[in-house]
Amino acid sequence: MANMTDQTRANAIIQALFTSSTTFTITPGTSGGSAFTMTPPLKIRLMTAQGTNTSNGTESTSGNCPGYTAGGVSLGSSGFAAPSGGQQTNNNSASWSATGSWSTVTAIEIWDSAGTPLRWLQGALTSNITGVANGDTVQFAVGSITINASAW
Amino acid sequence: MLIRCRTGGEILDVADGQDPHAALDANGCSHCADSHPLDVHCGETANSCPRDHPGPCWNGEGERPDGCAVCRPLLFIANARVI
């Protein structure tokens, strides 16, 4: 069985998490686990080494990717568009202007803006970003980051 | 890896390990450093450098004339799928 969850419910869950522009807390009922809070805006971080679903990757730094600042950049209010088919894409672009040569970037992570930010998503780039030099721009255009919950 | 001249134009897919700036150069992506016509883009031939050179800027020239440069800066077009 490829899909275990009703797609409408999956769409509702990911839209609540990744499209909301305001902070909200989900408080489960008895035996439902701990409450958790989502704090927009979401931020995209660049990784020189991809993490896993249980451990963070190695974030780019201003040292190995001049022009990048640790902590990433905001994906704006309502970071991701309304989902369709269990997938949604970013509503706003994100870009960096390199001020020197960059190490290879292989992956991204999506974090929230809590005082102690939480990591929500991680994934590899379609292609590594290599050879960035001073003056170049690295950009994720609108629609270039896909959240895929279609297999839930 | 998708790249193009930051000023616009054709998008090129560069293989991993290939210098993106050199890739553009090899594809005829060149322009006058200071004043090239807006319709000269990556992947096209820069046929004129109106300020400094009446002739070809890069294509067909054994040596790049002064005032011409490969397309810099570049725009790296990134895509990702997150889970």
Where do the domains of chain A lie? 7-148
ipTM rounded to 2 decimals: 0.88
Cα atoms in the Cβ-side hemisphere of radius 13 Å centred on A147: 27
Residues of chain A contacting B18 with CB distance shorter than 8 Å: 131
What is the SS3 assignment for A111?
strand
Q: Check pLDDT > 70 for residue A72.
A: yes
pLDDT of residue B9: 62
Closest among B57, B23, B61 to B42, alpha carbons compared: B23
A121 touches B at CB < 8 Å: yes
Residue range A11-27: mean pLDDT, rounded: 95
By the 8 A CB rule, do A79 and A19 touch?
A: yes
- Two tokens at B24? 């553009």
How many Å apart are CA B24 and CA B34, to the nearest integer? 18
Which of A121, A128, A137 has the CB atom closest to B6's CB atom?
A: A137
**Interchain CB contacts (distance < 8 Å): A and B:** 91
pLDDT of residue A45: 98
Residues of chain B contacting A43 with CB distance shorter than 8 Å: none
pLDDT of residue A100: 92
Please identify among residues 36-75 of chain B the ones whose CB lies closer than 8 Å to any CB of chain A.
Answer: 72-75
- Two tokens at B22? 């050199």
Of the two residues A88 and B66, the one the predictor is more confident about is A88
How many Å apart are CA A32 and CA B8, to the nearest integer? 52
Q: What is the pTM of this model?
A: 0.81
Which of A9-13, A27-31, B31-35 comes out lowest in average pLDDT?
B31-35
Residue range B35-48: mean pLDDT, rounded: 41
Q: How confident is the model at residue B33 (pLDDT cuts 50, 70, 90)?
A: very low
Question: What percent of chain B shows pLDDT beyond 90?
Answer: 6
pLDDT of residue B71: 55
Q: Check pLDDT > 90 for residue A22.
A: yes
State how far the alpha carbon of B79 is from the alpha carbons of A7, A105, B1, B16, B31, in Å. 24, 12, 9, 15, 27
- Two tokens at A48? 């020189």
For testing contact with chain B, the best of A48, A129, A134, A142 (most B CBs within 10 A): A129
Residue range A143-149: mean pLDDT, rounded: 95
CB neighbours (10 Å) of residue B25?
18
Q: How confident is the model at residue B34 (pLDDT cuts 50, 70, 90)?
A: very low
How many Å apart are CA A86 and CA A106, to the nearest integer? 25
How many Å apart are CA A118 and CA A148, to the nearest integer? 19
A42 touches B at CB < 8 Å: no
Q: Which residues, 6+ apart, have CB-to-CB distance to A2 below 8 Å?
A: A151
Q: How far is A87 from chain B (nearest CA, A)?
A: 10
Contact yes or no for A144 and B78 at CB 8 A: yes
Q: Which residue of A has its CA nearest to B13?
A: A127
**Domain range holding B20?**
1-83
Amino acid letter at A39? T
Q: Check pLDDT > 60 for residue A12.
A: yes
Q: How confident is the model at residue B3 (pLDDT cuts 50, 70, 90)?
A: confident
pLDDT of residue A136: 86
**How many folded domains does chain B comprise?**
1
